[in-house]
Amino acid sequence: MTDTGAEKRPPTIDDVVRVAKAEPELPAEDGAVREGTAPPRIVEIARLAGVSPITVSRALRQPEKVAEAKRRKILEIVERTGYATNPHARALRSGQSNIVAAFVSNIQSQQFCLAVQGCGEVLEPQGYQLMIGQTSYSYAKETTMIQSLREMRPAAVMFTGVIEIEENRRALRALGIPIMETWAYPRDPIDMLVGFSNIDGGRLAAEHFAGRGYRRVAFIGRRSGRGALRLSGFREGAHEAGLDIVAELSVDGVSSMVDGRRALGDLLSRDASVQAVFCANDLLATGALLEARRRGMRLPDDIAILGFGHQDIADELPPGLTTVGIDSRDLGRRAGQLILQRMRSETPDSLTQVVDLTLAQRGSS
Amino acid sequence: MTDTGAEKRPPTIDDVVRVAKAEPELPAEDGAVREGTAPPRIVEIARLAGVSPITVSRALRQPEKVAEAKRRKILEIVERTGYATNPHARALRSGQSNIVAAFVSNIQSQQFCLAVQGCGEVLEPQGYQLMIGQTSYSYAKETTMIQSLREMRPAAVMFTGVIEIEENRRALRALGIPIMETWAYPRDPIDMLVGFSNIDGGRLAAEHFAGRGYRRVAFIGRRSGRGALRLSGFREGAHEAGLDIVAELSVDGVSSMVDGRRALGDLLSRDASVQAVFCANDLLATGALLEARRRGMRLPDDIAILGFGHQDIADELPPGLTTVGIDSRDLGRRAGQLILQRMRSETPDSLTQVVDLTLAQRGSS
DNA sequence: TTGTAGGCGTTATCAA
DNA sequence: TTGATAACGCCTACAA
């Protein structure tokens, strides 16, 4: 990649500290941005190789169409000069950008970040760049971002979620690019889907509670989106198993551990006889778990808590949080693979994949 | 924004569940991407408004240079048709893209995400898009990403960190665009800096321990980058206060709670007399705290733990983790503001800002 | 205040 | 297998 074999030893503590000893000095104020030398253009490469620009273009994009010797020479020069295609010119002429937009509901969520990472692992080696945006669980923000996609003209779009508002669904379809939805299992995805049934997740929670012998159960979570689906499944499962849902506590907006704490407090003050609580995400569950322990309750004897998401911390907090969830990174990788096929105009076997829900049994239930 | 006043009521649980009842059905396989109608071009807007394309361009970019009546008419048509400038054409012609690249060491880190969010809050309303990349604390990955910037040609670049490798620093300077470094306080930032002294942070930790009367102290953290600086300051502070550093445990690679657990175990088996531990980040500190509690130790009496980062969870885990840190979102906002000024070729008062380190005293020390 | 001419760098198309 | 030509959509420079 580089033109010299220059050493590139990572700095060790001694280097770092030697440089940084002077930390508190203010840096010189002349640090104006220096104009870089203009990067080489395709014509320059063509000139050096003694071919026409289009041949250089082909050598990079369809190497099999260029004679062996020329191709080698061209690639060597590209390497040496550090030539890189101007993506704007390329996108303008070919109508193909190498940007894939990924929208997460909340960038602070480990689950969503893992999925995006997984997707990036697949796409980036193929020359695509992920651009990450955050919808903050806000339908208004979602609408704004989708509108801004018209300007961005990405090669594909992925969401850690499904789009519920019909107007936004139409807008996305109109982009004419691959659209990936995830994290749920709607009957009519816009285009592609790697998802799972949140309803089944809720049902699994209820079945787990029933299997462990709890009868008086409760729900804490959002009343819209995926929270609503998990609640719905939980209701069904509870009904079938003869469980008694003593309370459904609504937490709206982006939830935090504090919400989980507060919700558990509310719940206990309403009905102290509750035996088991299903929290629609791990952040709420973690808060509830901490609150229960703060009150000196023993888990799972005094109260059982079940989360959703397989978040790292769930395993670390004593006595360990039982959670329902999926392998988010794997979901992201699969999504990336489908998107890739679609961008290459290959035909995936199926535009829809389902990932498995699993229950990780720990000490809290 | 939209051409109709169509209702856009967010779905409630009933809508959601009604749609999703059919979840387990496989979606129809015909979901091919439909070609969208081509978006309008500037010539189309110009035709509708009875002006030339350049006037439309000006009405959007330099409205004051277009006569009131024409401007209003043009903007009305733009609104109605949903016209959006093709960013590639614009970038190609003007040499200015609206993408700002932001690199975080680890996308899972709450601190870095907050900073990026803060930065986005400032830049996005001005029409810039943040593109997020992850360096994974790897110098090799950092080098690769910096090279890929040549192709991406963003309007500016921001890092949640400073660039230590001279070759990368040169490559960044050569881009000729605003570069923002953060999270440290080098004497010679590449261009702009919103930082703080990690050495001071380490010193603050030592001083805090001294003030609380602990004498036998230890360090857990990375030996490179910021970890090294925090250790360096911690050593200095400990030396000045007459503390005894009984151990310095190295955790390399991306750290996790499990590393913190293990490191505390190692530490205690080496020297059980240690009174206080400074962990170079909150993830390690959280792991150490949990491990201490798992072993039945009382905090801070049996052992005091101090973290770095002001991460949310630090406040939630009993007895509360004392941490040194900064306001990350604020750092991000300031960085965004400087970047914005620089992109507009305004002259900021200073290319360098320092944010304050604070110590949040909780129960763990 | 508005418009004309031309080019940013690349690749599609067609021809050789 | 290679090249000539033109065009992608917009904006800078200059002219009116």
Domain boundaries, chain B: 2-13+198-325, 42-83
Is 90 exceeded by the pLDDT of residue B328? yes
Query: Three-state SS for A134?
Result: strand
Using CA atoms, how far apart are residues B185 and B165, in angstroms rounded to an integer?
15
Using CA atoms, how far apart are residues B340 and B126, in angstroms rounded to an integer?
8
Q: What is the CATH number of domain B2-13+198-325?
A: 3.40.50.2300
Is 90 exceeded by the pLDDT of residue B329? yes
Chain B 71-100, residues with CB within 8 Å of chain A CB atoms: 82, 84-89, 91-92, 97, 99
Bigger pLDDT: B239 vs A177: B239
Query: Three-state SS for B289?
Result: helix
- Quote the pLDDT of residue A253: 81
Is 80 exceeded by the pLDDT of residue A22? no
Round and report the angstrom distance from CA (B169) to C1' (D16).
Answer: 48
The nearest alpha carbon in chain B to A187 belongs to B27
pLDDT band for position A135 (50/70/90)? confident
Sign of the dihedral defined by the CA atoms of residues A44, A47, A49, A52, in that order: positive
Q: Cβ distance A239 to A212 under 8 Å?
A: no
- Quote the pLDDT of residue B10: 42
B230 touching A (Cβ < 8 Å): no
Bigger pLDDT: A30 vs B322: B322
Report the DSSP beta bridge partners of residue A181. A193
- Quote the pLDDT of residue A32: 41
- Which candidate, A306, A310, A313, A335, places its Cα nearest to that of A325? A310
Q: What strands, in cross-sheet order, belong to the sheet with B216-221?
A: B244-250, B216-221, B276-279, B304-308, B322-325, B358-360
Is 50 exceeded by the pLDDT of residue A83? yes
pLDDT band for position A190 (50/70/90)? very high
Q: Which residue lies nearest D11, CA-to-C1' measured?
A: B93
How would you label A265-290 residue by residue, b for 16+ Cβ within 10 Å and e otherwise? bebbeeeeebbbbbbbbbbbbbbbbb
Round and report the angstrom distance from CA (B53) to C1' (C6).
Answer: 14
Question: What are the pLDDT digits (tens) for B195-251?
Answer: 999 999 999 999 999 999 999 999 999 998 899 999 999 999 999 999 999 999 999
**What average pLDDT score do residues B317-325 get?**
94
How far does the CA of residue B331 sit from the closest CA of chain A (Å)?
Answer: 17
Nucleotide closest to B58 measured between CA and C1': D11
Is 70 exceeded by the pLDDT of residue A1? no
Is 60 exceeded by the pLDDT of residue B12? no
Q: What is the CATH number of domain B42-83?
A: 1.10.260.40
**What average pLDDT score do residues B88-93 get?**
90
A113 touching B (Cβ < 8 Å): yes
- Quote the pLDDT of residue A347: 83
Round and report the angstrom distance from CA (B90) to C1' (C13).
Answer: 25
Q: Percentage of residues in chain B with pLDDT exceeding 90?
A: 63
How far does the CA of residue B36 sit from the closest CA of chain A (Å)?
Answer: 4
pLDDT band for position B36 (50/70/90)? low
**What average pLDDT score do residues B75-96 get?**
88
- Quote the pLDDT of residue A27: 37
Question: What are the pLDDT digits (tens) for A303-358?
Answer: 999 999 999 888 888 899 999 999 999 999 999 999 999 988 888 889 999 999 99
Is 60 exceeded by the pLDDT of residue A36? no
Burial group, residue A155, by CB count within 10 angstroms (0-12, 13-18, 19+): buried
Number of residues that make up chain A: 365
Alpha helices (H) along A5-163:
13-20, 42-49, 53-61, 68-81, 87-94, 110-123, 139-152
| The pairing of beta strand B156-159 with beta strand B99-104 | parallel
Is 50 exceeded by the pLDDT of residue A115? yes
Type and span of the H or E element at B83 = none
- Structure-token match 């007459």, residue found: B242
- Quote the pLDDT of residue B137: 75
Bigger pLDDT: B36 vs A107: A107
For B300, the token pair is 């801070």
B25 touching A (Cβ < 8 Å): yes
Number of residues that make up chain B: 365
Is 50 exceeded by the pLDDT of residue B2? no
pLDDT band for position A37 (50/70/90)? low
- Quote the pLDDT of residue A45: 93
According to DSSP, residue B319 is labeled T
pLDDT band for position A31 (50/70/90)? very low
Average pLDDT, chain A: 87
Q: Percentage of residues in chain B with pLDDT exceeding 70?
A: 90
A175 touching B (Cβ < 8 Å): yes
- Which candidate, B181, B129, B134, places its Cα nearest to that of B154? B129
- Quote the pLDDT of residue A43: 92
Q: Cβ distance A234 to A254 under 8 Å?
A: no
Question: What are the pLDDT digits (tens) for B254-300?
Answer: 788 999 999 999 999 999 999 999 999 999 999 999 999 999 999 99
- Quote the pLDDT of residue B62: 87
B341 touching A (Cβ < 8 Å): no
pLDDT band for position A271 (50/70/90)? very high
Q: Cβ distance B306 to B313 under 8 Å?
A: no
Bigger pLDDT: B189 vs B62: B189
How far does the CA of residue B133 sit from the closest CA of chain A (Å)?
Answer: 8
- Cα dihedral B296, B299, B301, B304 in deg (nearest 10): 120
